[in-house]
Amino acid sequence: MAMTSDAALEAAPVEKARGYWATVARRLSRDKVSMACAAILILIVLAAIFAPWLGLADPYQGSMIRRLRPIGTPGYPLGTDELGRDMLSRLVYGGRLSLLIGILPVILAFGIGTSLGLLAGYLGGKVNTIIMRTIDVFYAFPSVLLAIAISGVLGAGIVNSIVSLTVVFVPQITRVAESVTTSVRSLDFVDAARASGASALTIMRVHMLGNVLGPIFVYATGLISVSMILAAGLSFLGLGTRPPEPEWGLMLNTLRTAIYVNPGVAALPGVMIFAVSICFNMLSDGLRSAMDIRN
């Protein structure tokens, strides 16, 4: 069957069809700001992971005679903290816990929230009402207050702060997932899939998931910075990590008293939190525009 109107398309060189995510990755790789942010994040993450092999000073070894040395002191490139511990070493080691409690709650909440939102959005009706109204109860509290309240009830500790932060983020991600699902649900291809006799679970897996994941993913990436700041806040209040464990939020707390003595050193943990948060935010923005493909 010859089709003149289609001749041009057919004559085009047959290239291997590029998947959606491959296109997004290609577009993202052309975005200089996003790539710079990604590079910084990868550097920080790698440094945290390989900290013991970097030849750094012992982050727990203090020295009473070398307390609060300023930045640039020979042997202590970033100075020392209030107990004379090497700041560079503590900042690198601190990334291990800070990044963990910054990222893990978001990953957990991403899984739980996407599942709940998908169910609520696809099934609609009573299921939607039950899930979304329950979520609204949590949503009514300011996230900082909710995180403090849950952590306070569960007690201090890393696992407990991860749990409390997950609980804080699930409602937000569920909200986004539900609204995206509802809009995709109304498209004809979902009805076509239903007309083929597929079960709700199959339709959600094959047809819904790939179409709702993108926007939720972008939103979740943005939450990582919030999570890091909340985690730092919990540690600051003594609800997260405990001394002498190096963790940025906790370090910010303990160095607080030295702010008039050595403001440069006292600000360093905050600088790290700020740098990582802003990188995740920029990356999330870049991802958003890379995924906004209009042909």
**CA distances in angstroms from 230 to 61, 107, 142, 264, listed in the order given:** 28, 15, 12, 23
Q: Crossing angle of helices 87-123/158-185, nearest 10°? A: 40
Interacting residue with another protein among 5, 52, 125, 133 (CB under 8 A):
5
Q: Does 58 bind another protein (CB under 8 A)?
A: no
Interacting residue with another protein among 202, 242, 243, 292 (CB under 8 A):
202
Q: Does 10 bind another protein (CB under 8 A)?
A: yes
Burial 111-123 (b: 16+ CB within 10 A, else e): ebbbbbbbbbbbe
Q: How far is the CB of 22 from another protein (least distance, A)?
A: 11
Q: How far is the CB of 193 from another protein (least distance, A)?
A: 7
Q: Does 60 bind another protein (CB under 8 A)?
A: no
* Angstrom distance (rounded) from CA 134 to CA 62: 49
Nearer to another protein, 17 or 153 (CB): 17
Interacting residue with another protein among 42, 46, 192, 201 (CB under 8 A):
192
- Count how many Cα atoms sit within 13 Å of the Cα of residue 150 in the half-sphere of its side chain: 21
Q: Does 238 bind another protein (CB under 8 A)?
A: no
The stretch among 28-36, 194-202, 263-271, 281-289 that binds another protein (CB under 8 A) is 194-202
Which residues, numbered 143-162, are part of the site for another protein (CB under 8 A)?
none
Q: Does 140 bind another protein (CB under 8 A)?
A: no
Which residues, numbered 15-44, are part of the site for another protein (CB under 8 A)?
16-17, 19-20
The stretch among 73-81, 88-96, 199-207, 242-250 that binds another protein (CB under 8 A) is 199-207
Interacting residue with another protein among 73, 134, 179, 211 (CB under 8 A):
211
Binding site for another protein (CB under 8 A): 1, 3, 5-6, 9-10, 14, 16-17, 19-20, 187-189, 191-198, 202, 206-207, 210-211, 295
